[in-house]
Amino acid sequence: MTLRLITFDLDHTLWDPTDALIAAEQAMFGWINEHSPVTASFYPPEKFHAYKKDLAAAYPELTGKVSEFRFQLLRRIFLQSGHDSDTARRMAQDAFAAFYQARSTGLTLFENVADVMAELKESYTLIALTNGNADLDIAGHTHLFERHLKADDYAAKPSPDMFEAALQHAGVEPRQALHIGDHPEQDVAAARAVGMTTLWFNDKEADWPLADCQPDGEFSHWSQLVQAIRALEGN
């Protein structure tokens, strides 16, 4: 097997986003508290998250577009707390900007990621495929990839859309491409359905949960990745 393209999931594969997401929520609520105390009183965090679940249930088509979904959620809470439509839209944009900046800051790469990606970039086209909305420019990780595809612009994984767009961009067949990610359904099963080879990032060293498909390999630490790829290629 000769690989030409490697695609990567981001959250929980290159980094743990937990702290950044917590900081992003804090930044967003801080902005709301400062600029619209009435909204903050109408929608404290617990009520906000309950409404978020209700909105997701009512508009499931929006949930894969995480940026648009959060913007619409914010716009609605500003409207419901008494702001007019134009003001609610503007405030939603600004509150989302506070969230987005913090969400994309402090995304620390797992150990060995930077060195491994630099090595892989010498031999393969590297493309990021993510259902998240981290900004790689803000995060300082743009240089790792030739292209960054995300669910704000494509149907979310496990849809084949991002995988197929990556294949088209690189000009390769699925058999020449490898996808690496941590999620059994959204990464491994979805990429295999397109015909790509897969590696499961299993840093928790868990048992494989799916009966109807298997990854082509797995690794638990980034120091193992280059050797895992060589094994797939028969080297």
Q: What is the CATH number of the domain that holds 205?
A: 3.40.50.1000
Which residue segment(s) compose the domain that 167 sits in? 5-15+109-233
Q: Do residues 148 and 111 touch, judged by C-beta distance below 8 A?
A: no
Residue for token pair 């797939």: 232
Q: Is the bond into 184 cis (omega within 30 degrees of 0)? A: no
The token pair at 195 is 């015909």
Write the pLDDT tens digit of every residue in 33-54.
Answer: 999 999 999 999 999 999 999 9
- In the chain, the number of structural domains is 2
Whole-prediction pTM:
0.94
Residues 189 and 137 in one domain: yes
Write the pLDDT tens digit of every residue in 120-136.
Answer: 999 999 999 999 999 99
Residues 152 and 206 in one domain: yes
Q: Residue 182 has what pLDDT?
A: 98
The token pair at 26 is 């804090």
- Return phi, psi of residue 166, to 5°: -65, -45
Q: Residue 158 and residue 181: Cα distance in Å, rounded?
A: 12
Given 49, 74, 103, which residue is the final one in a domain?
103
Q: Is residue 235 pLDDT above 80, yes or no? A: no
Q: Once rounded to an integer, what is the mean pLDDT over residues 54-70?
A: 93
Given 49, 73, 103, which residue is the final one in a domain?
103
Residues 171 and 123 in one domain: yes
Residues 39 and 92 in one domain: yes
Label residue 171 left, alpha or beta by phi (over 0 means left) and psi (-120 to 50 means alpha). Answer: left
Identify the CATH number of the domain in which residue 46 sits: 1.20.120.1600
